[in-house]
């Protein structure tokens, strides 16, 4: 433990000590400050170098190639837009044709339904007349049978 106490005592005295570098006396805090200043300058120089590389990269861009590609893309977009408009017009025409076909079909179905309804009404009327005739014939037959039965000469 005596060794540890010696090390602690030596460490406590460090803050008051000064170093002599190139004939200049420096304390620990001034050394740390100098290192921070030097690292700031180096970091700034490195950042400037990276910025210079980016600017050089932008300066070396082929703007004519980019403009050509953009005009080609614009032409493609215009062509696609025209094609989409043509499709839209065709779809509207197809929808109109479908709507007209539906109306025509509905009118044909309505006409057929009316025709069937008329035929059913005619059949009902004929059936009613037939039933009346059958009833009249029945009454006539019953009347004749009764007359024949009531006739004393028929025996």
Q: Is the dihedral of CA 119, 124, 125, 131 positive or negative?
A: positive
Distance CA 42, CA 48 (A): 10
Residue 120 within any structural domain of the chain: no
Number of folded domains that form the chain: 1
Q: Between these two residues, 148 and 25, which has the higher pLDDT value?
A: 148
Q: What residue numbers bound the domain in which 58 lies? A: 1-62
User: Are the CB atoms for 28 and 11 separated by under 8 Å?
Assistant: no
Q: Which two tokens stand for residue 138?
A: 């029945």
The sign one gets for the Cα dihedral 23, 26, 32, 38 is negative
Integer Cα distance of 109 and 112 in angstroms? 5
**pLDDT confidence of residue 12:** 62
| Residue 14 within a domain | yes
Render pLDDT for 23-80 as a digit per residue (tens, 0 to 9): 777 777 777 888 899 999 999 999 999 999 998 888 777 778 888 888 899 999 999 9
Q: Convert the pLDDT of each residue in 85-96 to its tens digit.
A: 999 999 999 999
Mean pLDDT of 16-24: 70
Compute the distance between CA of residue 83 and CA of residue 104 in angstroms, rounded to an integer: 31
Q: What is the pLDDT of residues 118-143, one digit of tens each?
A: 999 999 999 999 999 999 999 999 99
| Residue 74: inside a domain | no
pTM assigned to the model: 0.40
- Domain assignment of residue 37, yes or no: yes
Do the domain assignments include residue 146? no
pLDDT single digits (tens) 98-124: 999 999 999 999 999 999 999 999 999
Please determine, for residue 1, whether its predicted confidence score (pLDDT) is greater than 60.
no
């Amino acid at each position: 433990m005596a060794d540890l106490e010696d090390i602690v005592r030596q460490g406590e005295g460090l803050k008051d000590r000064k170093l002599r570098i190139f004939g200049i006396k420096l304390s620990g805090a001034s050394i740390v400050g100098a290192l921070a200043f030097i690292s700031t300058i180096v970091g700034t120089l490195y950042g400037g170098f990276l910025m210079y590389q980016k600017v050089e990269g932008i300066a070396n861009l082929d703007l004519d190639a980019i403009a050509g590609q953009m005009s080609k893309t614009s032409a493609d977009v215009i062509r696609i837009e025209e094609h989409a408009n043509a499709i839209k017009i065709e779809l509207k025409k197809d929808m109109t044709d479908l709507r007209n076909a539906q109306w025509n079909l509905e009118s044909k179905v309505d006409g057929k339904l009316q025709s069937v309804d008329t035929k059913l009404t005619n059949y009902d009327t004929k059936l009613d007349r037939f039933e009346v005739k059958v009833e009249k014939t029945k009454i006539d037959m019953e009347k004749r049978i009764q007359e024949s039965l009531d006739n004393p000469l028929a025996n």
